[in-house]
Amino acid sequence: MSDLRFALLSGSTRTGSQSGKVTRFAAARLTARHADALVDVVDLATTPIESWHEGLWNGQPTSPVWQATSATLAAADALVVVAPEWNGMAPPALMNIFLMASKGELAHKPALLVAVSAAVGGAYVIAELRVFGAKNTQIVYIPEHVVIRDVKNVLNGPEPASDADERVRARLDYGLGLLGAYAVALRGVRGSGLLDRKTFPNGM
Ligand SMILES: Cc1cc2nc3c(=O)[nH]c(=O)nc-3n(C[C@H](O)[C@H](O)[C@H](O)COP(=O)(O)O)c2cc1C
């Protein structure tokens, strides 16, 4: 489908992060797959979003940076959440997004989780994000996810540098392909007339 819109979130606040590299690689693969789709990248290393803002509850204006990010997320049909594993968990700035996105920006939208590890980690951050952060945002993580291990040695150029690089590229393409199908399918859910965020803004 040509009019899809994707937003990719790079969850590392480190300058020159590997998560940023992975995010840009995934964005390019989405653009190659969906020639007419809009593909937005939000890199938390270059997007200084405030840590929670009381204005989300009392109506005071949030920062222009958050307002722009909120609009990007709200416009998306589907998301890619690229999460580095830091001490076996997601970075605080990434979890902060799930506090800030309290206006339905992510609600009932499919998301592909991509974990990033310089070593052989990544499983913990996938588990954390699948369990925590979706209750009130109502983001819908698709069953397929990607764990990118030994990240410094993969996804560095147009051609795979090793068998492992080739395997991870295939896995990422598979996840991104499925994400596009979920994007189309969940548009139907959001347009069904069944959602009632006024009565039920938060999950149980
Ligand atoms: C504070 C911190 C904690 C980390 N803890 C882990 C970890 O628990 N497991 C792991 O596989 N890698 C860990 N790493 C290394 C990351 O896998 C590595 O930095 C990788 O490049 C992803 O992070 P980046 O996107 O910020 O570059 C940690 C890195 C930082 C900065």
How many structural domains does the chain have?
A: 1
Any atom of ligand 1 within 6 Å of the Cβ of 13:
no
Nearest to 168 by CA among 187, 192, 148: 148
Centroid of ligand 1 to alpha carbon of 138 (angstroms): 27
DSSP readout, 100-166?
H--SSTTTT-EEEEEEE-SSS--HHHHHHHHHSS-TTT--EE-S--EEE-SGGGSS-SSS-SSHHHH
Q: Are 135 and 203 in contact (CB under 8 A)?
A: yes
- What's the rounded Cα separation, in Å, for the pair 146 and 133? 18
Centroid of ligand 1 to alpha carbon of 45 (angstroms): 14
Domain contains 172: yes
Q: Which two tokens stand for residue 2?
A: 């040509």
Centroid of ligand 1 to alpha carbon of 118 (angstroms): 6
Domain contains 196: no
Per-residue pLDDT of the chain (204 residues; tens, 9 = 90+): 558 999 999 999 999 999 999 999 999 999 999 999 999 999 999 999 999 999 999 989 999 999 999 999 999 999 999 999 999 999 999 999 999 999 999 999 999 999 999 999 999 999 999 999 999 999 999 999 999 999 999 999 999 999 999 999 999 999 999 999 999 999 999 999 999 999 999 999
Any atom of ligand 1 within 6 Å of the Cβ of 91:
no
Element (H, E) at 39: strand 38-43
Q: Which two tokens stand for residue 1?
A: 């489908």
Partners of 152 in the β-ladder? none
Any atom of ligand 1 within 6 Å of the Cβ of 18:
yes
pLDDT of residue 139: 98
pLDDT of residue 86: 98
pLDDT of residue 187: 98
Domain contains 199: no
Q: Whole domain around residue 136: which residue ranges? A: 5-53+63-190
Domain contains 33: yes
Domain contains 68: yes
Centroid of ligand 1 to alpha carbon of 151 (angstroms): 10
Nearest to 102 by CA among 1, 204, 2, 202: 202
Domain contains 195: no
The best mutation among 12, 82, 85, 126 to test binding of ligand 1, ranked by most ligand atoms within 8 Å of the C-beta, falls on: 85
pLDDT of residue 1: 53
* Packed helices 18-33 and 163-190: angle between N→C axes, nearest 10 degrees: 70
- What's the rounded Cα separation, in Å, for the pair 177 and 30? 8
Task: Return the CATH number at 37.
Answer: 3.40.50.360
Q: Which two tokens stand for residue 100?
A: 């800030």
Any atom of ligand 1 within 6 Å of the Cβ of 112:
no
Measured from the CA of 20, which atom of ligand 1 is nearest? 25
Domain contains 203: no
Domain contains 197: no
Name residue 179's amino acid: L
